[in-house]
Structure 1
Amino acid sequence: MRDPFILEASPGKFVLYGTTDPNLWGGPATGFDCFISDDLESWDGPLPAFRPPAGFWADTQFWAPEVVGRDGRFFMFATFASADPQAGPRGIQVLVADEATGPFAPWSDGPVTPRDVPCLDGTLHLDDDGTPWLVYSRGAEGIPGGEPGISDGEMYALRLSADLRAPVGSPALLFRASAAAWSKPLWFPPGVEPPEQLNLGKDPLFTDGPYLVRSAGGSLQMLWSSFGDEGYAMGVAKSASGTVAGPWSQRDEPLWARNGGHGMIFTDSRGVSRLVFHWPNDTPSERVKLVPVEITDDDIRIS
């Protein structure tokens, strides 16, 4: 599994989602599976959380599902793409279900992200007044489905309607990968062959896997992934305004530097926080890793 995400659907009942298709880079997509647990150690599954309905616009690169509970229902934000160029570029669509384990069905009318540029890895953030924002990445050239002409991956925020079905206004650029001193051009460790869909000739910097977390004191920080000196890595950005608009400053060193990433912070009903991510970053060896973390007003640190 890549891109793991954990939801506590009810006290002591956990659901794990992630990118679960074996042909994750460009093969035909099956959907998303999930797993359930009552202790975060033993997991039952897989359970079919989402299977695309007949006529669904996407058929490949089903990536990075995140699920939130809202108004008695469960909403999934996930990345989808199509092998048919006429279907448009990769985007983030919203799905809905009555149960945390699904079955999920389309909620938004196709992607909520812009229909003219490829986007990936959406995460929901709520302002203090409850306004919903989708924070997501635009991939650099050389990444599967990346955008020609972009050599420096970008992070955006897009306001959503209250019902999470449509965008409101235009997306705002939050920062680029090069803003972080630790972000380096994409590379793979010796002996690890990159997926054939990658074209590394452009030496792209990239952004992916955003996740926003607010500290007890009100500080807003963002976990996000790129590549560093030791492979795939996760860094931390902080909003000076305490809002999604930023401006965002970057921690000098990555939170996790060693060939693992696309993480989220899961805080359970007892108040225990864990960094959840996939490690290593070598297909098909990726596994879900949970590491205790401490969240302060100024930083996120591994305990």
Structure 2
Amino acid sequence: MNAYNAAADTANPQVGHKLADIPAHDPFVVADGATQTYYLYTGGSPKLHGLDRYGVLAYKSRDLAEWEGPFVVFTVPDGVWANPQHGAWAPEVHAYGGRYYLFVTLHNNERPLEGEGHGGYPLHWRGTVIAVSDSLDGPFELVKPDAPIVTEHLMTLDGTLHIDDEGNPWMVYCHEWVQTADGTVDAVHLKDDLTGCASEPIHLFSGSDAPWDNGEQPSAGAEKVFVTDGCQLYRTSGDRLIMLWSTYEKGNYVQTIARSVTDKLEGPWEQLAPLVFDDSGHGMLFQTFEGDWMLILHSPFRMPESRCKLFEMTDTGDSFIVKSPKFDLAGDQSK
């Protein structure tokens, strides 16, 4: 196995990486049946990866145990609303209409918003963008370069694609607690070509709806805030609509899950028992080429220590539950 060098030249991808060696946040996996290849997407940064600007990296694997990469599939371009030096969060790639669409959250800290932020954080432009490519390998190009998909007046993040029963595309996303104190999960109907919104946002649920006290105090004496992160939607074998999302529990990041009572996007949504604790979250589900459900998430929360963890899952028909951790598959022998 080649040891992972965070400052390695991304123009020179290496083979033999284990997940336990790769600094990663907000992981997203696409299982490409045509090539029998798993694609892992995560954010790329100047500090960790030697890039000259923020972007998105991909790693490839045939067995989920050894990975080749990193490959640069997207970098924040000049001349758009976002600042290339201010971050790229929560990348994910979806097949839609014969092409591949990258959803990633970008920022511009130098474009302030009106009002005062919560937790001592300022308000500024932050939102999910969509970029398109004909290949999982990229390069991806923005479909709307002048603003985020949802209005720039809202600080939003972690947008994901959901196709409803009528075949309509939606973006489900989180409204940032920095702006709202009580973070929310909301959704907006997208245009058929995914270039913008086709409706006003609808509210799905709030961070404070968690059935435990997940309120956090960013500093001593500060008001409580409620975090919503990493929303992802799936159908069970019983046709139940469930959503992964992340928040906090006793000061630690937690991977939790919700279920639509009506099995419609509009809900109402009920909160189920969390799936994984131990400062872990922002996970997503995918199926292996053998048909097994897997959960990938990152733990701990902070970079550069954060690493991907894998869990085999069980589809109960009503929801998904953890069957067993796959620390050995991730190359982590510490647990």
> Normalising to structure 1: TM-score of the pair?
0.88
- Where in structure 2 are the equivalents of 1:1-303 lying within 5 Å? 1-11=24-34, 12-21=36-45, 29-59=53-83, 60-85=86-111, 89-109=125-145, 110-140=147-177, 146-147=178-179, 150-186=180-216, 201-229=222-250, 231-251=252-272, 253-303=273-323
Moved more, 39-48 or 82-91: 82-91
- Work out the CA distance in 2 between the residues paired with 1:33 and 1:290: 19
* Counterpart code for 2:296: V
- The 1:183/1:42 distance shift into structure 2, 3 A limit, reads farther
What's the secondary structure of 2:200's corresponding residue? strand
Larger radius of gyration: 2
- Work out the CA distance in 1 between the residues paired with 2:47 and 2:239: 41
Instruction: Give unmatched runs, 5+ long, in structure 1.
Output: 141-145, 188-197
> What whole-Å deviation, never above 9, does each CA across 1:125-163 have from its counterpart, x for those lacking one?
1112211111100111xxxxx21xx22111101110111
- Work out the CA distance in 2 between the residues paired with 1:164 and 1:127: 14
Percent of counterpart pairs with the same letter? 34
* Counterpart code for 2:81: W
**Count of residue pairs brought into register by the alignment:** 282
- The 1:83/1:29 distance shift into structure 2, 3 A limit, reads farther
**Contact 2:53 2:75 (C-alpha < 8 Å) held by counterparts:** no
What's the secondary structure of 1:218's corresponding residue? coil
> Normalising to structure 2: TM-score of the pair?
0.80
Find runs of 4+ consecutive structure 1 residues off by over 3 angstroms: none
Alpha-carbon offset, residue 61 of structure 1: 2.4
- The 1:49/1:114 distance shift into structure 2, 3 A limit, reads same
Instruction: Give unmatched runs, 5+ long, in structure 2.
Output: 1-23, 114-123, 324-335
- Work out the CA distance in 1 between the residues paired with 2:318 and 2:284: 17
- The 1:182/1:275 distance shift into structure 2, 3 A limit, reads farther
Measured on the aligned residues, the alpha-carbon RMSD in Å equals 1.9
